[in-house]
Structure 1
């Protein structure tokens, strides 16, 4: 299966460098056999949750303007670009409007190319409907398509990829993510469910009718989350909407912007590149 046609949307994509693994740790094939205790998705009020976890005062922080945040994101991206050296970024986590918007913003700030792995799988299968049919009729063939897409994406640099759940549900795919930096974008399941109920266009992809209730969507997403959570947790770093809201002193998760998340992701990437640089320096012979 080829995805070259998608890459040709940008004429310069043919010049993207071939990548070597960002880190060399091995993924244990048995990592998915570890029992995961389901956790409830009914959250405590955010202010109470923040005060319990970090003692922060949720009412004290003033919100930074979007213009200032956009400038901060661009400046941070410029700061880390030399050390990043074209390493691709893979965003894992539940499919959501936040994750998609974040991926596009990061790609723009880093001057990278943006791709959604699920969209590429659908395109290779002949469209969304054909991909759904393939998944039902031949799940192994569908998983092979996901792996082939990841294999091609991971061989290139200067990409921001919103990775689908298939990317974290096999040791082979997790190993491919090692060719870049993986970040778990942790958006609360109930927030994702609310967004999908509002934007009903995403429901058919979950095999749910456009009239599905919030509770039906939440139940479906909660099951999917628990199945993929073990894979999410193998990411190089995690950026949580809920934790970031606490840090910023926001009372409402909806106040966390894409720019807030992008800045936090870039900070995590900066930490990872520094650690890698230190390890490389330590490994050099005297």
Structure 2
């Protein structure tokens, strides 16, 4: 079984994904880390050098054609479900889980990790919250297509592992 974790940056996809993968006894992958391994640079550097369109094309190619094992847990980047046919592809090829958090909770988490995130590095306080609210509103149509929508603040790997194994 393939498990795709989606949600806004800072939702905890990587942290939760590692715990879920361990619970399922599956390997864990992070799409942004794969991009960095393949390109030899950071996501921010790729974004700055090649632009968002090229980044989204690379992201799609890795998501849909990388030689993953049969079973795995993958943490996607926050925008991955919103471009090309990625969300429909993930829904067709595995179980999708949306880790949902409020804009304020996301802003609190992101406040100390902005340097690694090119889209928000210059934002703070109310500007950061407003940016998150606007992006979430635009992305919700994609995120809410997930098979499961869970509270990102109170998510437990054991419960999710049981839930997805029943499907």
- Normalised to the residue count of structure 2, the TM-score between the two structures is 0.84
Equivalence for 2:32: 118
The yes-or-no answer on 1:238 pairing with 2:149 is yes
Equivalence for 2:45: 130
Q: Deviations over 1:118-177 (max 9, x none)?
A: 2222333331243122453xx332221011111135864221111113331135212320
SS at match of 1:184: strand
Q: Shift of residue 181 of structure 1?
A: 0.7
* Aligned partners of 1:182 and 1:237 also within 8 Å: yes
The yes-or-no answer on 1:172 pairing with 2:85 is yes
The yes-or-no answer on 1:266 pairing with 2:161 is yes
* Whole-Å separation in 2 of the counterparts to 1:160 and 1:90: 6
Label 1:120 to 1:134 Cα distance change in 2 as closer, same or farther (>3 A): farther
The yes-or-no answer on 1:227 pairing with 2:138 is yes
Q: Shift of residue 204 of structure 1?
A: 4.2
Label 1:92 to 1:154 Cα distance change in 2 as closer, same or farther (>3 A): farther
Larger RCO of the pair (alpha carbons < 8 Å, separation 6+)? 2
| Structure 1 spans left out of the alignment, 5+ residues | 1-86, 242-252, 274-286
Q: Shift of residue 97 of structure 1?
A: 5.7
Structure holding more helix per residue: 1
- Normalised to the residue count of structure 1, the TM-score between the two structures is 0.52
Count of residue pairs the alignment pairs up:
165
